[in-house]
Protein backbone atom coordinates (compact mmCIF):
# COMPACT_ATOMS: atom_id res chain seq x y z
CA UNK A 1 0.00 0.00 0.00
CA UNK A 2 1.31 3.49 -0.88
CA UNK A 3 1.70 5.71 2.14
CA UNK A 4 0.55 9.18 1.10
CA UNK A 5 2.00 12.27 2.69
CA UNK A 6 -1.43 13.79 2.24
CA UNK A 7 -3.83 11.29 3.78
CA UNK A 8 -7.52 11.54 2.96
CA UNK A 9 -10.20 10.54 5.43
CA UNK A 10 -13.68 9.05 5.42
CA UNK A 11 -16.16 11.58 4.07
CA UNK A 12 -19.85 12.33 4.59
CA UNK A 13 -20.44 12.80 0.84
CA UNK A 14 -22.88 10.59 -1.09
CA UNK A 15 -21.44 7.69 -3.10
CA UNK A 16 -21.13 8.94 -6.70
CA UNK A 17 -20.66 12.61 -5.72
CA UNK A 18 -18.11 14.50 -7.85
CA UNK A 19 -16.47 15.81 -4.67
CA UNK A 20 -14.67 12.47 -4.21
CA UNK A 21 -12.64 12.87 -7.38
CA UNK A 22 -11.96 16.54 -6.65
CA UNK A 23 -10.48 15.46 -3.29
CA UNK A 24 -8.39 12.80 -5.06
CA UNK A 25 -7.19 15.36 -7.61
CA UNK A 26 -6.22 17.70 -4.77
CA UNK A 27 -4.32 14.89 -3.06
CA UNK A 28 -2.47 14.04 -6.30
CA UNK A 29 -1.71 17.74 -6.84
CA UNK A 30 -0.25 18.29 -3.38
CA UNK A 31 1.71 15.03 -3.52
CA UNK A 32 3.30 15.98 -6.83
CA UNK A 33 4.07 19.58 -5.86
CA UNK A 34 5.90 18.16 -2.86
CA UNK A 35 4.97 20.84 -0.30
CA UNK A 36 5.08 19.96 3.37
CA UNK A 37 1.53 19.57 4.70
CA UNK A 38 2.34 22.08 7.45
CA UNK A 39 3.07 24.69 4.76
CA UNK A 40 -0.38 24.26 3.19
CA UNK A 41 -3.59 25.89 4.42
CA UNK A 42 -6.91 24.86 2.91
CA UNK A 43 -9.98 26.91 3.69
CA UNK A 44 -13.68 26.61 3.02
CA UNK A 45 -16.90 28.38 3.94
CA UNK A 46 -19.99 26.27 4.68
CA UNK A 47 -21.50 23.66 2.36
CA UNK A 48 -20.61 20.21 1.02
CA UNK A 49 -17.60 21.49 -0.95
CA UNK A 50 -16.05 23.31 2.04
CA UNK A 51 -15.82 20.02 3.92
CA UNK A 52 -12.80 19.28 1.70
CA UNK A 53 -10.24 20.84 4.10
CA UNK A 54 -11.41 18.46 6.82
CA UNK A 55 -10.73 15.39 4.68
CA UNK A 56 -7.02 15.84 3.92
CA UNK A 57 -3.83 16.16 5.98
CA UNK A 58 -2.81 19.84 6.25
CA UNK A 59 -3.82 23.03 8.07
CA UNK A 60 -7.52 23.73 7.64
CA UNK A 61 -10.06 26.42 8.42
CA UNK A 62 -13.79 26.60 7.71
CA UNK A 63 -15.31 30.05 8.01
CA UNK A 64 -18.91 31.18 7.64
CA UNK A 65 -21.01 30.59 4.55
CA UNK A 66 -19.80 33.01 1.86
CA UNK A 67 -16.72 33.99 3.85
CA UNK A 68 -13.95 31.63 2.85
CA UNK A 69 -12.05 34.41 1.09
CA UNK A 70 -11.48 36.91 3.97
CA UNK A 71 -9.66 34.46 6.29
CA UNK A 72 -7.68 33.15 3.29
CA UNK A 73 -6.57 36.69 2.47
CA UNK A 74 -5.66 37.38 6.10
CA UNK A 75 -3.66 34.14 6.39
CA UNK A 76 -1.74 34.77 3.17
CA UNK A 77 -0.95 38.40 4.04
CA UNK A 78 0.32 37.56 7.51
CA UNK A 79 2.19 34.41 6.47
CA UNK A 80 3.33 34.55 2.84
CA UNK A 81 5.13 31.21 3.26
CA UNK A 82 1.80 29.37 3.37
CA UNK A 83 0.33 27.88 0.21
CA UNK A 84 -3.26 29.06 0.57
CA UNK A 85 -6.02 27.15 -1.22
CA UNK A 86 -9.78 27.67 -0.99
CA UNK A 87 -12.36 24.97 -1.65
CA UNK A 88 -15.84 26.45 -1.73
CA UNK A 89 -19.20 25.87 -3.39
CA UNK A 90 -20.86 27.85 -6.17
CA UNK A 91 -23.47 29.19 -3.73
CA UNK A 92 -20.87 30.15 -1.16
CA UNK A 93 -18.53 31.80 -3.68
CA UNK A 94 -20.79 33.45 -6.22
CA UNK A 95 -23.89 34.07 -4.05
CA UNK A 96 -23.42 35.10 -0.45
CA UNK A 97 -19.64 35.49 -0.94
CA UNK A 98 -19.95 37.29 -4.28
CA UNK A 99 -18.52 40.59 -3.10
CA UNK A 100 -15.50 38.93 -1.52
CA UNK A 101 -14.98 36.98 -4.74
CA UNK A 102 -14.98 40.12 -6.92
CA UNK A 103 -12.87 42.31 -4.68
CA UNK A 104 -10.24 39.71 -3.95
CA UNK A 105 -9.70 39.39 -7.69
CA UNK A 106 -8.93 43.12 -7.67
CA UNK A 107 -6.46 42.75 -4.77
CA UNK A 108 -4.76 39.80 -6.48
CA UNK A 109 -3.69 38.03 -3.29
CA UNK A 110 -1.74 34.85 -4.09
CA UNK A 111 -4.47 32.24 -3.49
CA UNK A 112 -5.69 29.25 -5.53
CA UNK A 113 -9.49 29.11 -5.45
CA UNK A 114 -11.19 25.83 -6.39
CA UNK A 115 -14.95 26.22 -6.69
CA UNK A 116 -16.97 23.00 -6.69
CA UNK A 117 -19.71 24.12 -9.08
CA UNK A 118 -22.60 21.65 -8.81
CA UNK A 119 -24.98 24.43 -9.89
CA UNK A 120 -27.06 24.34 -6.69
CA UNK A 121 -27.00 24.46 -2.90
CA UNK A 122 -26.33 20.82 -2.01
CA UNK A 123 -25.90 21.02 1.77
CA UNK A 124 -29.27 22.69 2.24
CA UNK A 125 -31.01 20.19 -0.07
CA UNK A 126 -30.98 21.46 -3.62
CA UNK A 127 -32.17 25.08 -3.88
CA UNK A 128 -31.08 27.21 -6.86
CA UNK A 129 -27.64 28.84 -6.67
CA UNK A 130 -26.31 31.63 -8.90
CA UNK A 131 -25.15 29.06 -11.50
CA UNK A 132 -28.40 27.04 -11.64
CA UNK A 133 -29.68 26.87 -15.22
CA UNK A 134 -32.81 28.81 -16.08
CA UNK A 135 -35.93 26.65 -15.86
CA UNK A 136 -34.47 24.02 -13.52
CA UNK A 137 -37.08 22.90 -11.00
CA UNK A 138 -35.92 22.68 -7.38
CA UNK A 139 -37.75 22.13 -4.08
CA UNK A 140 -37.99 25.94 -3.73
CA UNK A 141 -38.06 27.11 -7.37
CA UNK A 142 -41.09 24.90 -8.09
CA UNK A 143 -41.90 26.66 -11.37
CA UNK A 144 -38.25 26.51 -12.43
CA UNK A 145 -35.42 28.93 -11.67
CA UNK A 146 -36.26 32.27 -13.28
CA UNK A 147 -32.99 34.12 -12.71
CA UNK A 148 -30.33 34.56 -15.37
CA UNK A 149 -27.42 32.21 -14.53
CA UNK A 150 -24.24 33.88 -13.33
CA UNK A 151 -21.14 33.25 -15.47
CA UNK A 152 -18.21 33.14 -13.03
CA UNK A 153 -15.52 32.95 -15.71
CA UNK A 154 -16.75 36.01 -17.61
CA UNK A 155 -17.12 37.84 -14.30
CA UNK A 156 -13.59 36.92 -13.17
CA UNK A 157 -12.08 37.99 -16.50
CA UNK A 158 -14.09 41.22 -16.42
CA UNK A 159 -12.81 41.97 -12.91
CA UNK A 160 -9.22 41.56 -14.10
CA UNK A 161 -8.26 38.07 -12.89
CA UNK A 162 -4.90 36.86 -14.18
CA UNK A 163 -5.67 33.13 -14.03
CA UNK A 164 -9.05 31.69 -15.00
CA UNK A 165 -9.75 28.02 -15.66
CA UNK A 166 -12.51 25.45 -15.66
CA UNK A 167 -12.33 21.75 -14.87
CA UNK A 168 -14.66 18.80 -14.42
CA UNK A 169 -14.65 16.29 -11.58
CA UNK A 170 -15.08 13.53 -14.20
CA UNK A 171 -11.64 14.33 -15.71
CA UNK A 172 -9.42 13.99 -12.62
CA UNK A 173 -6.04 13.92 -14.44
CA UNK A 174 -6.93 17.03 -16.41
CA UNK A 175 -8.17 18.64 -13.17
CA UNK A 176 -4.92 17.79 -11.37
CA UNK A 177 -2.95 19.65 -14.05
CA UNK A 178 -5.23 22.68 -13.65
CA UNK A 179 -4.81 22.61 -9.87
CA UNK A 180 -1.01 22.48 -10.18
CA UNK A 181 -0.96 25.44 -12.57
CA UNK A 182 -3.35 27.43 -10.36
CA UNK A 183 -1.28 26.82 -7.21
CA UNK A 184 1.94 27.72 -9.02
CA UNK A 185 0.41 30.93 -10.41
CA UNK A 186 1.57 33.99 -8.44
CA UNK A 187 -1.68 35.80 -7.69
CA UNK A 188 -5.36 34.94 -7.49
CA UNK A 189 -6.21 31.86 -9.56
CA UNK A 190 -9.79 30.69 -10.12
CA UNK A 191 -10.64 27.15 -11.16
CA UNK A 192 -14.39 26.65 -11.50
CA UNK A 193 -14.92 22.87 -11.32
CA UNK A 194 -18.06 21.24 -12.68
CA UNK A 195 -19.10 18.69 -10.09
CA UNK A 196 -22.08 16.39 -10.38
CA UNK A 197 -24.44 16.33 -7.39
CA UNK A 198 -25.94 12.88 -7.64
CA UNK A 199 -28.71 13.56 -5.13
CA UNK A 200 -30.17 16.95 -6.08
CA UNK A 201 -29.06 17.91 -9.59
CA UNK A 202 -30.93 15.65 -12.01
CA UNK A 203 -30.28 18.02 -14.95
CA UNK A 204 -26.51 18.59 -14.85
CA UNK A 205 -25.58 14.97 -14.24
CA UNK A 206 -22.20 13.29 -14.74
CA UNK A 207 -23.35 12.29 -18.26
CA UNK A 208 -24.57 15.84 -19.00
CA UNK A 209 -21.19 17.34 -18.10
CA UNK A 210 -19.34 14.57 -19.89
CA UNK A 211 -21.33 15.18 -23.08
CA UNK A 212 -20.99 18.96 -22.96
CA UNK A 213 -17.35 19.60 -21.99
CA UNK A 214 -14.42 19.60 -24.39
CA UNK A 215 -10.76 20.08 -23.49
CA UNK A 216 -8.95 23.14 -24.84
CA UNK A 217 -5.79 22.28 -26.75
CA UNK A 218 -2.59 24.17 -27.51
CA UNK A 219 -4.22 26.10 -30.33
CA UNK A 220 -5.82 28.35 -27.68
CA UNK A 221 -3.52 31.24 -26.73
CA UNK A 222 -3.98 31.57 -22.95
CA UNK A 223 -2.56 35.11 -23.10
CA UNK A 224 -5.38 36.32 -25.39
CA UNK A 225 -8.04 38.04 -23.26
CA UNK A 226 -10.58 38.43 -26.10
CA UNK A 227 -10.36 34.72 -26.91
CA UNK A 228 -10.65 33.86 -23.19
CA UNK A 229 -13.81 35.97 -22.83
CA UNK A 230 -15.34 34.32 -25.91
CA UNK A 231 -14.56 30.87 -24.50
CA UNK A 232 -15.85 31.83 -21.05
CA UNK A 233 -19.15 32.86 -22.62
CA UNK A 234 -19.46 29.52 -24.46
CA UNK A 235 -22.08 27.69 -22.42
CA UNK A 236 -24.30 25.81 -24.85
CA UNK A 237 -23.98 22.43 -26.51
CA UNK A 238 -20.26 22.63 -25.90
CA UNK A 239 -18.45 24.06 -22.88
CA UNK A 240 -14.64 24.44 -22.87
CA UNK A 241 -12.53 23.17 -19.96
CA UNK A 242 -8.87 23.99 -19.38
CA UNK A 243 -6.92 27.21 -18.75
CA UNK A 244 -8.80 30.01 -20.48
CA UNK A 245 -6.48 32.81 -19.38
CA UNK A 246 -3.10 33.11 -17.71
CA UNK A 247 -1.20 36.38 -17.50
CA UNK A 248 1.64 37.24 -15.11
CA UNK A 249 0.66 40.25 -12.97
CA UNK A 250 2.05 41.83 -9.79
CA UNK A 251 0.35 40.24 -6.78
CA UNK A 252 -0.73 41.92 -3.53
CA UNK A 253 2.58 41.36 -1.75
CA UNK A 254 4.75 42.72 -4.50
CA UNK A 255 2.69 45.94 -4.60
CA UNK A 256 2.94 46.71 -0.89
CA UNK A 257 6.22 48.18 0.30
CA UNK A 258 5.80 46.69 3.80
CA UNK A 259 5.23 43.17 2.46
CA UNK A 260 7.69 43.00 -0.41
CA UNK A 261 10.38 41.29 1.67
CA UNK A 262 8.09 38.26 2.11
CA UNK A 263 8.65 38.16 5.88
CA UNK A 264 6.07 36.55 8.17
CA UNK A 265 4.36 39.36 10.15
CA UNK A 266 4.73 37.56 13.49
CA UNK A 267 8.49 37.36 12.89
CA UNK A 268 8.97 41.11 12.42
CA UNK A 269 10.59 43.33 15.00
CA UNK A 270 8.26 45.69 16.73
CA UNK A 271 9.20 48.65 18.85
CA UNK A 272 6.91 48.99 21.91
CA UNK A 273 7.85 52.69 22.17
CA UNK A 274 6.32 53.34 18.72
CA UNK A 275 3.17 51.39 19.64
CA UNK A 276 2.82 53.27 22.94
CA UNK A 277 3.27 56.58 21.17
CA UNK A 278 0.49 55.61 18.73
CA UNK A 279 -1.83 54.51 21.54
CA UNK A 280 -1.20 57.77 23.38
CA UNK A 281 -2.59 59.72 20.41
CA UNK A 282 -6.02 58.13 21.08
CA UNK A 283 -6.24 58.91 24.82
Q: Which residues bind Mg ion (CB under 5 A)?
A: 89-91, 118
Q: How do 40-44 and 83-89 pair as beta strands?
A: parallel
Region from 68-76, 101-109, 122-130, 251-259 binding ligand TPP, contact rule CB under 6 A: 122-130
* Among the listed residues 30, 63, 92, 112, the single contact to ligand TPP using CB under 6 A: 92
Nearest of 196, 208, 201 to residue 18 by alpha carbon: 196
Nearer Cβ to ligand TPP (114/121): 121
Nearer to ligand TPP, 120 or 228 (CB): 120
DSSP per position, 150-200: P-HHHHHHHHT-SEEEEEETT-HHHHHHHHHHHHHSSS-EEEEEE---TTT
Which of 13, 44, 58, 90 binds ligand TPP (CB under 6 A)? It is: 90
Give yes or no for residue 18 binding ligand TPP (CB under 6 A). Answer: no
Q: Does 246 bind ligand TPP (CB under 6 A)?
A: no
Out of 64, 74, 207, 275, name the contact with ligand TPP by CB under 6 A.
64
Question: Between residue 44 and residue 63, which ones bind ligand TPP under the rule CB under 6 A?
Answer: 46-49
Q: In this structure, what DSSP letter does residue 13 have?
A: S
96 binds, among Mg ion, ligand TPP, none (CB under 5 to 8 A by kind): ligand TPP
Report the partner that residue 92 touches, choosing among Mg ion, ligand TPP, none (CB closer than 5 to 8 A by kind). ligand TPP
SS3 category, 61: strand
Residue 192 interacts with ligand TPP (CB under 6 A)?
A: no
- CB atoms < 10 A from the CB of 74, how many? 13
* Nearest CB to ligand TPP, comparing residues 57 and 124: 124
121 binds ligand TPP (CB under 6 A): yes
Q: Give the CB-nearest residue to ligand TPP.
A: 89
Distance separating alpha carbons of residues 195 and 116, to the nearest angstrom: 6
- Asked if 204 and 119 count as a contact pair (C-beta separation under 8 A), the reply is yes
The correct pick among 21, 29, 108, 129 for binding ligand TPP (CB under 6 A) is 129
Nearest to 216 by CA among 279, 260, 153, 158: 153
Among 44, 63, 89, 172, binds ligand TPP (CB under 6 A): 89
C-alpha closest to that of 81 among 205, 274, 267, 269: 267
Pairing mode, strands 239-246 and 213-215? parallel
Residues that bind ligand TPP (CB under 6 A): 46-49, 64-65, 89-92, 96, 116, 118, 121-124, 129
Amino acid sequence: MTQHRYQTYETAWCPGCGNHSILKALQATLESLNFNPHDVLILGGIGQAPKTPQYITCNSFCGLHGRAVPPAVAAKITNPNLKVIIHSGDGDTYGEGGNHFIHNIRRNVDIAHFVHDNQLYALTKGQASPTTMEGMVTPVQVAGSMSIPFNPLVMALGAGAGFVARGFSGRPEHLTELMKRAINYKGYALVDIFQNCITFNKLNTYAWYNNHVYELDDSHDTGDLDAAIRLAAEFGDKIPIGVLYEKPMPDYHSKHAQLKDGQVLSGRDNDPAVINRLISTFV
